[in-house]
Structure 1
């Protein structure tokens, strides 16, 4: 069988895209699959402040706030910022304040002098915190154990200013839930793996921690206050470096969260995240763009090569090899990050996630308006 120059170029491009894909799988993500997971500390070293921003989260606060307040940690406070809620959140928090001495409520009221948005609420919570080490989560989140704060406390290494945790979503019925959890998994694999490679570029506000001094030293969110999202990832992107950031992936330190229940609300959430991503440092935007672009090219070239009789079986062979190698890496990571039941669906979800990301990127071009809640 002889191939013409076009077919040779097509297969060459497909192979190159496969090798790029292989790099991310074996030289970036595999590191997270093999790294030793540290045990949670058995003692609390320093006091800390937990900060939660809540906007119309009455039901979630009733359901999840006790698991925060009952953490097995000797000295901590929980600050809940009630950000202009009208659903009874204030009443719920008032009841909790009567029961828990370590709960502090900060209220953001409507008014021209207030800046709407989560970043303002987070800033108010940080200003109210009495301790330097700040741990962040959301009102719809539940720690996996009572040792969550033990794991997310200030590390022994005083040079560490940021700790990145992991926050999976609760399992629900349906394809959308599987897609949401799989997308969350890949996002976590990426930012945790790059943090291990001493190139941290983001974190998630559902489970992360940093020093209050770091926040004020770098003027908080001033550089991106005009962006509705980014109170977590943009702050990490601007302030994390190879020497001041650690990760925590012990299962006791995971924080479970409620996933979006509809495709529309999920799209809105991803739209906010996509907008924040445009503000990342150039080197981080380049890395993330390369991953998406070469995955897009891989599937595009694969389809093209599969349509040509002389290259069809070679292309299918490359696909099979890609799935085989990736199936060696990612099912391990799925189990490590609490999504083990998705391992069997990995190849299908991988393709569906790619289709969704392309769709979301196109949609983001035409839909500009975003907001927190």
Structure 2
């Protein structure tokens, strides 16, 4: 009797996953790319940096060489203790379209990136703002052209894809890139459905009025993380949000190279999810729960060899539709190679997420340098 109940539960879990992968994620996975024309709107690119001198030296030129007619670069030095401020000062003197914003430590907002970003946003002269990080670089010189194409009278928020560089012969790198691809598939899909819930600060754009419409970061200023996803969770709607996933619009970052540093990064990111809207927390939790119980119930039912042919058929069907959906998404995001390792990576991520959850219950990671 118990095994029969577990089999029914197993079928329900797989059905839930079918709904996610085909009817929700499929909104992105099987979607066609847009062919919107670039618009020559004035843009302000905003970079907030704290002790990022080495990355700035490597990547700043990729911002200067954008094939775009009218843009400024707003550099925010958030009380750095390395050469960051000196580099920014030199760039401001050398390039007419570079503006420097210096942030002094403020007792009320000490170490809070949101405070620094707020000052940079207010200093930007243009209405259309594009955000990336100091350790990121655009894939092409047409990055801003691609972003500008998505802005319309109604679409005032653009969610882009922030990829990670490929590292040969690194399984950790495949895990990182798979998780990044899966996360993007989720937030792109929900945005297409009309329920946008997050974006990534490595590749994000919005009109300045959207920032002031929700009082900027004030409602979550005390939460050290979430200048990107918590803002989008609050400000993005079905009407004002567009997604952008053309390869020319990607940004790239160097991935973590050790499991411990990647885990710490995941712990920082996970602390913001509890501040999402109720529905967003529910749908994310339901997806993870369905992943976890699929794995557990499949192992239990196969271990007892209960209706093993039926259970095996369900497992094969489940991997078929998940591979199909994620395979198309990986193709769009140029991450096809990670799909060869998909079943193994999925198991690693399930237990990694459990570990992050329990670790964050007992200690909180630091969020800004």
8 Å CA contact 1:164, 1:207 repeated in 2: yes
2:78 paired with 1:83: yes
Name the SS of the counterpart of 2:195 in structure 1. coil
8 Å CA contact 1:133, 1:154 repeated in 2: no
Matched ranges for 1:117-136 at <5 A: 117-136=112-131
2:325 paired with 1:321: no
Q: Which runs of 4+ in 1 moved over 4 A?
A: none
Matched ranges for 1:1-373 at <5 A: 5-39=1-35, 41=37, 43-112=38-107, 115-153=110-148, 155=150, 157-173=152-168, 174-373=170-369
TM-score by length of 2: 0.96
Name the SS of the counterpart of 2:358 in structure 1. helix
Partner Cα distance (1:309, 1:139) in 2: 53
Partner Cα distance (1:126, 1:56) in 2: 20
Give the C-alpha shift of residue 77 in structure 1.
0.3
Give the C-alpha shift of residue 130 in structure 1.
0.4
1:117-145: CA deviations, max 9, x gaps?
A: 11111111101100111000001111111
Give the C-alpha shift of residue 268 in structure 1.
2.1
Partner Cα distance (2:222, 2:149) in 1: 30
Give the C-alpha shift of residue 224 in structure 1.
0.5
8 Å CA contact 1:228, 1:272 repeated in 2: no
8 Å CA contact 2:51, 2:83 repeated in 1: yes
Structure 1's 44 and 273: CA in aligned 2 closer, same or farther, altered over 3 A? same
8 Å CA contact 2:267, 2:356 repeated in 1: yes
Partner Cα distance (2:291, 2:30) in 1: 24
Higher mean Cα deviation, 87-96 or 144-153?
87-96
CA RMSD between the two structures: 1.5
8 Å CA contact 1:46, 1:154 repeated in 2: no
Higher mean Cα deviation, 49-58 or 349-358?
349-358
Name the SS of the counterpart of 2:271 in structure 1. helix
Name the SS of the counterpart of 1:153 in structure 2. helix
Give the C-alpha shift of residue 154 in structure 1.
6.6
Structure 1's 362 and 316: CA in aligned 2 closer, same or farther, altered over 3 A? farther
Partner Cα distance (1:144, 1:326) in 2: 28
Give the C-alpha shift of residue 114 in structure 1.
5.0
Give the C-alpha shift of residue 116 in structure 1.
2.1
Structure 1's 312 and 365: CA in aligned 2 closer, same or farther, altered over 3 A? farther
Higher mean Cα deviation, 177-186 or 258-267?
258-267
8 Å CA contact 1:163, 1:247 repeated in 2: yes
Name stretches of at least 5 consecutive residues in structure 2 with no aligned partner. Answer: none
8 Å CA contact 2:150, 2:244 repeated in 1: no
Name the SS of the counterpart of 1:345 in structure 2. helix
8 Å CA contact 1:162, 1:240 repeated in 2: yes
Partner Cα distance (1:355, 1:313) in 2: 27
8 Å CA contact 2:36, 2:149 repeated in 1: no
8 Å CA contact 1:331, 1:346 repeated in 2: no
8 Å CA contact 1:118, 1:231 repeated in 2: yes
Structure 1's 25 and 67: CA in aligned 2 closer, same or farther, altered over 3 A? same
Partner Cα distance (1:299, 1:231) in 2: 34
